[in-house]
A and B are shown apart, each in its own frame.
Chain A
Amino acid sequence: MFWASYLLAALAIVLAWPAPIALSRAAWTARAPFTAMVLWQSIALAGGLSMIGALLVWGLEPLGDNLVAASAGFLELLLTDASARTLGVVHVFAVSAAVLLFAHLVFTLVLTFVRIRRQRSRHRDMLTLLSSPSTEQPATVVISHPAPVAYCLPGGAHSVTVMSDGLMDLLTQAELDAVLTHENAHLHQRHHLLLWAFAAWRSALPWLPTSQLAQRAVSELIEMLADDEALRRVDRATLVRAIVIVGSGEVHPDRDELGSTAADRPHAATADPARSTLGDGSTAHRVRRLLAPLPPLRRLQQTAALSAAGLLLVVPPVLLVMPEMLG
């Protein structure tokens, strides 16, 4: 049982440091955002589990061959109050740390959920007063503001997509459709649940490279997923134009001469992506990905990535509960 705690600790370290750094630098994630998302989730889950598991297994080691037997032993100790003799101080410390870490993660998850819900409901209250329902789209409201803004506010049946009239002035109908399809994809694919989990993960362990990298990666990946969903309804050039116009945040100086039809506007998508020197911000990254689409991952690569994700979820529980099976 002793070696199991070291393996778990090693796994926890790998998942806290090198693995997320490697994944955040990997180029293939843009080709398979869904697979990358699954992998991030299993890294976070397995990482948390192995952190807690390593402490728990190590601390309970003197009490039994596996976690089940040791936990029973620990409970008995607690009831008979004889811990000082069988368990050393370091062991008690490790077990306490495991329990505290677990409680910390769960509490942060709950607190984040409550905070997000409160902010959303306050925001929705204000929207009710300040916006008017869109005449064309269901579950869409228009707010009177000059800046081009589009976002969705998740909330089950109360989910709503918000557009500013600045946005509606700036975009053509096709481009607006692209924006709305993108936002609806966020709602349909329940991206807010992922954002919630990873925001909680980050506020629970803010100093850990994995939690910061994971949150950044996940918020980029959901944009890619929503872009891909939008591409089923609108063409690539329209979506890119919508992103570029909203991203650059103001009316293009030449726009008055160009009139209001999209056909008159320069086609952003025809620009050579290799020549453009985009900054490394996530929006530029998104545009670059749309301008120069890469083929999706090959089936073998996809399978390998998903198997790795599956394996990550299986290994810590196996190490926790059944070390004797492997030994």
Chain B
Amino acid sequence: MATLGDLERTVMDLLWATTDSTTANELRDAIAEVPAPETGRELAVTTVLTVLSRLEKKGLVERERNIRPHRYRAVTSREDHTAELMHEVLVTAPDRDAVLARFIGSVSEAEAQTLRTLLGGS
């Protein structure tokens, strides 16, 4: 049984792998070829459309509405999203501390220098 999260992931993986826009039908066919056991069952196009509209709401997918059927593409690359997410993690803000717990908090350049010297083992 594929959860919605798994499907979203599969769809995004497919969209990130291509630069062209694609239709829900093409996506459904592509998903059927993904050799993952959890997505093995036959999907309805409506399910793919649901997933796509969820992804659109999250700002990950954009839709070309002027042609029928609508064509979908990833808003930006996987690397950009990762960079953005990591920036969120690394940026200093006291009110973010409660959201997640980092192994190392933000380190000033001077402090990093001392840490490096320390690692250099004097």
Contacts and interface: CB of A to CB of B under 8 A. Distances in A.
Contacts of A150: 102-104
B86 A247 contact: no
A144 B78 CA distance: 10
Contacts, number: 153
B44 interface: no
Interface string B76-110: 00110111011011100011111111111101101
A108 to B, nearest CB: 12
Interface residues of B, number: 43
A24 interface: no
Contact of A203 (B5, B95, B122): B95
A112 B98 contact: yes
A270 to B, nearest CB: 7
Nearest to A131: B82
Given A149-B90, A151-B89, A271-B118, A248 B112 contact: yes
A126 B85 contact: yes
B60 interface: yes
Contacts of B35: none
Contacts of A127: 85
State the majority secondary structure of interface residues on B: helix
B121 A267 contact: yes
A310 interface: no
Interface string A107-143: 0000010001001100101111110000000000001
State the majority secondary structure of interface residues on A: helix
Contact of B86 (A149, A196, A265): A149
Contact of A199 (B12, B97, B120): B97
B114 interface: yes
A243 B104 contact: yes
B22 to A, nearest CB: 17
A128 B13 CA distance: 11
Contacts of A202: 94
A191 B101 contact: yes
A249 B119 contact: no
13 contacts: A123-B88, A129-B9, A143-B82, A145-B83, A150-B102, A151-B103, A153-B99, A192-B98, A242-B103, A244-B119, A248-B112, A248-B116, A248-B119
Interface of A: 112, 116, 119-120, 123, 125-130, 143-145, 147, 149-154, 162, 164, 179, 182-183, 186, 191-192, 195-196, 198-199, 202-203, 215, 219, 222-223, 241-249, 252, 254, 265-268, 270-271, 275-279, 281-284, 287
Interface of B: 5, 8-9, 12, 58, 60, 78-79, 81-83, 85-86, 88-90, 94-105, 107-108, 110-122
Given A248-B112, A271-B122, A284-B114, 9 more contacts: A116-B99, A130-B85, A143-B86, A191-B101, A199-B98, A215-B97, A243-B104, A243-B115, A244-B119
